[in-house]
Amino acid sequence: MWKLQGIRIAADCLFEEDVALRLTPTFFGIKPGKIALLSGAKLSKGCVLDCFGGEISIGANVFLGPYCVLYGHGNISIGNDCLIAMGCKIIAANHTIAAPDALIRLQPDIAKPIVIGNDVWLGADVKVLAGVTIGDGCIVGAGSVVTTDLPPYSIAVGSPAKIIKQR
């Protein structure tokens, strides 16, 4: 296990080039986050894991395809043996828009945890939004946007993602 200031990486994890692990951007004044990568995790070219003060936990034998982005404001937990295809975005926060007379960029974020179970497959370019739980054994079709929880062994597609059948 390799450890450094909030980052823990199992010795047999693999990284391709241009992978970024960020605890927090200091100019935002956010408390440092944490990243944990368990045994056998593989991060492909161009992956970005950015805590923004939250925690990101990647289970054993998880594959993150090229150019995946995880923003962990509200915490992200990915179980074991998951396949996260290229271009997926997992974003555990959103902007509020409650005050129409205030600039959106100046309104606070709402951070909510994302939990992805074991043996989950997210197809290419899937987006998972804040507050979602994806149960064990789920499959989400390419290009889908997951806005609500998916029970275990569901197959879902679309924007927003809808369950089309069970495994």
| pLDDT on residue 30 | 66
Is the model's pLDDT at 2 over the cut of 80?
no
CATH (domain of 131): 2.160.10.10
- Mark whether 73 is an active-site residue: no
Residue 2 located in a structural domain: no
Query: Within a domain: residue 100?
Result: no
Express each pLDDT in 119-128 by its tens digit.
Answer: 999 999 999 9
- Residue 15: pLDDT over 90: no
Q: Is 33 exposed, middle or buried (0-12, 13-18, 19+ CB in 10 A)?
A: buried
Higher pLDDT, 5 or 22: 22
| Boundaries of domain holding 139 | 7-95+106-166
pLDDT at 135: 99
Nearest to 138 by CA among 114, 159, 165: 165
Q: Which of 31, 95, 162, 167 is catalytic?
A: 95
Answer yes or no: is 83 within a domain. yes
Q: How many domains does the structure of the chain reveal?
A: 1
101 lies in some domain: no
